[in-house]
Chain A
């Protein structure tokens, strides 16, 4: 079956511009996660959605970052007024319920470069 997909695969933008990154989770998966992977570093948790519950936004690094999940499926991560330090690979993952002991399935990521 289809895995987690993300678009675009690569995004180059200028400092100060807004960007939107999209994630399509595996059909039927109710949990969706966003992570950021910077060069030479591990994965940094950003935000987590579970069903209709309020999202866990505790990992968002600043108020320039926001995410939404429409209809319990597709999610969009938005970065406003991008900065060079936002350059990273943004990974999306999904898992089935209950999410806390099920493994997460990752998408291929979006490589964001802020010039």
Chain B
């Protein structure tokens, strides 16, 4: 069975500082990994995904994530946080079996960026 863990319920960062939102996963085979962001009273928006290839994936709004197979991690990062980045962030995984299509989401990490 596939699973995702987001160990931090909340991350607090000052604007201009780098941010990291952690995610670890568990699948039987190779993973497809996704990050989504949810702003208040909005649906989820896709940020970036790892399918194959370069371990460093760049996505929307200046976010990037690094796939680390040995540590089974896919942490979300941004070099310089903005107050407008404050939102709920979800990591998700799908096992690459060619047939499985269910995404398993983490419980979410609330990012709070302050001035």
Contact = CB atoms under 8 A, between A and B. Distances in A.
Interface stretch (B12-20, B42-50, B65-73, B75-83): B42-50
A33 B36 CA distance: 15
B101 interface: yes
A41 B107 contact: yes
B46 A104 contact: yes
A99 B44 contact: no
Contacts of A67: none
Interface string A32-45: 01010000011101
A106 B39 CA distance: 12
B11 interface: no
Task: Identify whether the interface residues of B are mostly helix, strand, loop, or mixed.
Answer: loop
A56 B104 contact: no
B101 A48 contact: yes
22 contacts: A31-B101, A35-B105, A42-B106, A42-B108, A43-B44, A43-B105, A45-B103, A45-B104, A48-B101, A50-B101, A56-B101, A56-B102, A93-B44, A99-B101, A100-B32, A100-B94, A100-B100, A104-B46, A105-B46, A107-B43, A108-B41, A109-B43
Contacts of B41: 108
B3 to A, nearest CB: 11
Given A58-B102, A108-B43, 13 more contacts: A35-B105, A41-B107, A42-B107, A42-B108, A43-B105, A93-B44, A100-B96, A100-B98, A100-B99, A101-B51, A103-B34, A104-B46, A106-B43
